[in-house]
Chains A and B, each alone.
Chain A
Amino acid sequence: MSSRPAPTASTASADDAPERLGLVMRAVSLRHGNAAETVQALDDVDLTVRPGELAAVVGPSGAGKSSLLAVAGGLARPDHGTVTVAGQDMTVPSRRTRTELRRRHVGFVFQSGNLLPALTAADQLRLPLRLGPRSQRSGRDPLELLADVGMADKAGRRPHQLSGGERQRVGIARALVTEPSVLLVDEPTAALDRARSHEIVQLLAHEARQRSVAVVMVTHDHDVLQYCDTVYEMVDGKLAASS
């Protein structure tokens, strides 16, 4: 992709390349820190994830994996490079615009679920649908989606009444409820045992294919890479395809 897509291109036309509907990062660099001490968190990163693809990113602690997700989802602006999600520029200076793009096109799944303690599982899913203006409140049915991730009978429970694996299922469902183009997942199995980890990653792979979502999953867990379509390795901010 040589030129930036027009910011208004929100829907795909027939001649759109399929990767345009997913995540495209080109020559992305990000530095953290101040003048005295800087860290090159991302160093000339290129990454393309197509709809329906589950891409894994592995690498040691501090390699820049979370930074990659932050930039991909518009939580942070890169110093250089381009990032598009569903054809939309995620590096625009306006925080408000990036927030709106994130609300409409990006789903985040966090390390320990990061559910809101006051909300029941069903309300966790209703919340993202209520963040936008009334006219934009379309999405999947929360209870149906909870059933899809195997949580139908626990819709009324709050996070403290759920196990780690159950919390992660609710977290995945919450990220999917707005029907995002891209799902960004940060170490979803960090707090889970082996069996639970496999279930969660299988669920992610299933949803990615079923819903044609481009998924980037950061993980420490080499055990679960068998479920992923592509595997990247990150070291010192540099991303490379893994063998």
Chain B
Amino acid sequence: MFLAIRELSFARLRFALMGAVIALIAVLMVMLSGLSVGLVRDGVSGLQNLPVTSFAFAHDVQRDSAFSRSVVDLSAVDEWSAQPGVAEAAPFGNTLVNTRTDRGTEIDLALFGVQPDSFLSPSVSQGERLGTEDGIVVSPTALDAGLRMGDTVTIDRLGTRLRVVGVTEQQDTFGHVDVAYVPLAAWQAIKSGTAPGTALPQRAATEITAVAVRADDGKSVDLSAGDTAAGTESLTLKESYGASPGYTAETTTLQLIQGFLYAISALVAGAFFAVWAIQRKPEVAVLRALGASTGWVLRDALTQALVLLAAAVAVGVGIGLALGALITGSGIPFALSMPSISAAGVGLVVLGLIGAGAAVIRITSVDPATALGGNR
């Protein structure tokens, strides 16, 4: 520490340049974190907010598009209710529709068809809960998009009219589209393309997208046993995120970029400290000749790297948070999540330290005899 901090302040310009690079990487990291949390929220917050532990989809359904392709018979709900460890099971329907209000505002909605008296029926922050035949409860983000309480929306082509009776408590989106909870019967009519005023075909009345299952608190359900009994294929709630449109592609892209940033920060720190270590070789020889142990020299060098990295990452995260606060709420899917940002910050410091450590380890090979006026 004694030498490390004095060197930091003596060569402050050089260290500041290096610190600036790391700080910029930290800014980028905060932006990416905000973007990925924002995208996840935009993509699957509707699912995240459901009091559900798993979904039972149709057997052999394609996993990445299970919500749009799966068709399950209503009878599977009873099968699942009877499974050990299951607290509740309820039918769940899912369809994306294009609608327009009577004022001409176009708005896309992700319809979640649920039975109004089931555990899936959402609580509301304003208006009333699901109940009336054509009443829908929408995400508050739909209000930002131009929808109002009491509005009536008409589904394109089909002509079905739905009335906004309530608003959920927090952002509910699915595949970047605002969620609208709709009574299961109305959802079945829309899904089967039944025009208003026409009787619902017999078959459509027994078809749902999936069985939503809630396990008893603290218990886990034997999903494969339930699947065998009900002829379904279960995904846990988390696994079902991957079945939301675009989710897997978006998250893997962002994770890839973040991974590259970690690697870049380790390499930048490694390259900087490698050059620094080579320049310091004569100094290290003097230190060793004065009686500094290898451990002392290494500790000093790593402390220096740690102080530099931690300070640079702190500055970068600070700038990133300030920029993020400006972006939040500007329409870009962006959300600052402290756990995710802290993890990224710690990750940057640790990887930088590994890079620096790999570089400074070479000073242990310095021959202290080179401190003498050698003749070679």
Report the Cα distance A94→B68, complex, angstroms.
72
Residues of chain B contacted by A155 (CB below 8 angstroms): none
B8 → A minimal CB distance (Å): 9
- The answer, yes or no, to whether A130 is at the interface (CB within 8 Å) is yes
Q: Residue on B with the closest CB to A101?
A: B291
- The answer to whether residues A118 and B10 also contact, given A99-B288, A108-B289, A187-B373 and a CB cut-off of 8 A, is yes
- Is A108 within 8 A of B290, CB to CB? yes
- Is A116 within 8 A of B293, CB to CB? no
- The answer, yes or no, to whether A126 is at the interface (CB within 8 Å) is yes
Residues of chain A contacted by B7 (CB below 8 angstroms): 118
Chain B positions 1 through 36: 1 when the CB is less than 8 Å from some CB of chain A, otherwise 0: 011001101110000000000000000000000000
Chain B positions 281 through 306: 1 when the CB is less than 8 Å from some CB of chain A, otherwise 0: 01100111111111010000000000
- The answer to whether residues A104 and B371 also contact, given A118-B6, A123-B6, A130-B2 and a CB cut-off of 8 A, is no
Q: Which of B292, B293, B369 contacts A70 (CB 8 A)?
A: B369
Report the Cα distance A92→B318, complex, angstroms.
53
B375 → A minimal CB distance (Å): 5
- Is A111 within 8 A of B11, CB to CB? no
Residues of chain B contacted by A158 (CB below 8 angstroms): 10
- Is A119 within 8 A of B6, CB to CB? yes
Q: What does DSSP make chain B's interface, helix, strand, loop or mixed?
A: helix
- Is A108 within 8 A of B371, CB to CB? yes
- The answer, yes or no, to whether B372 is at the interface (CB within 8 Å) is yes
- Is A61 within 8 A of B11, CB to CB? no
- Is B372 within 8 A of A118, CB to CB? no
Chain B positions 357 through 376: 1 when the CB is less than 8 Å from some CB of chain A, otherwise 0: 00000000001110111110
Q: Which of B3, B282, B289 contacts A102 (CB 8 A)?
A: B289
Q: Residue on A with the closest CB to B291?
A: A103
Residues of chain A contacted by B292 (CB below 8 angstroms): 99, 103, 131
Q: Residue on B with the closest CB to A70?
A: B369
A5 → B minimal CB distance (Å): 21
Report the Cα distance A60→B282, complex, angstroms.
24
Q: Residue on A with the closest CB to B6?
A: A118
B322 → A minimal CB distance (Å): 33
Total A-B contacts with CB atoms under 8 angstroms apart: 86
Report the Cα distance A131→B300, complex, angstroms.
11
Report the Cα distance A190→B374, complex, angstroms.
13
- The answer to whether residues A131 and B369 also contact, given A62-B375, A123-B6 and a CB cut-off of 8 A, is no
- Is B293 within 8 A of A96, CB to CB? yes
- The answer, yes or no, to whether A18 is at the interface (CB within 8 Å) is no
- The answer, yes or no, to whether A69 is at the interface (CB within 8 Å) is yes
A128 → B minimal CB distance (Å): 5
The A-contacting residues of B in range 245-299, CB under 8 angstroms, are 282-283, 286-294, 296
Residues of chain A contacted by B293 (CB below 8 angstroms): 96, 99-100, 131
Interface residues on B, range: 20 to 34
Residues of chain B contacted by A106 (CB below 8 angstroms): 291
- The answer to whether residues A126 and B2 also contact, given A96-B293, A99-B288 and a CB cut-off of 8 A, is yes
B11 → A minimal CB distance (Å): 7
Report the Cα distance A62→B291, complex, angstroms.
26
- The answer to whether residues A103 and B373 also contact, given A118-B10, A127-B2 and a CB cut-off of 8 A, is no
Q: Which of A62, A73, A95, A117 contacts B289 (CB 8 A)?
A: A73
- Is B10 within 8 A of A117, CB to CB? yes
- The answer, yes or no, to whether A132 is at the interface (CB within 8 Å) is yes
Residues of chain B contacted by A99 (CB below 8 angstroms): 288, 291-293
Report the Cα distance A62→B376, complex, angstroms.
8
A165 → B minimal CB distance (Å): 17
Residues of chain A contacted by B6 (CB below 8 angstroms): 118-119, 123
B278 → A minimal CB distance (Å): 15
Q: Which of A103, A114, A128 contacts B371 (CB 8 A)?
A: A114
Residues of chain A contacted by B369 (CB below 8 angstroms): 66, 70, 75-76
The B-contacting residues of A in range 48-69, CB under 8 angstroms, are 61-62, 66, 69
- Is B372 within 8 A of A70, CB to CB? yes
- The answer, yes or no, to whether A232 is at the interface (CB within 8 Å) is no
- The answer to whether residues A127 and B372 also contact, given A117-B10, A118-B7 and a CB cut-off of 8 A, is no
Residues of chain A contacted by B367 (CB below 8 angstroms): 75
Pairs across A and B, CB under 8 Å, 5 listed: A110-B371, A127-B290, A130-B2, A131-B291, A131-B292
Instruction: List the 8 closest pairs (A to B, CB-CB), nearest first.
Output: A103-B291, A111-B373, A118-B10, A75-B369, A118-B7, A70-B369, A66-B372, A102-B291
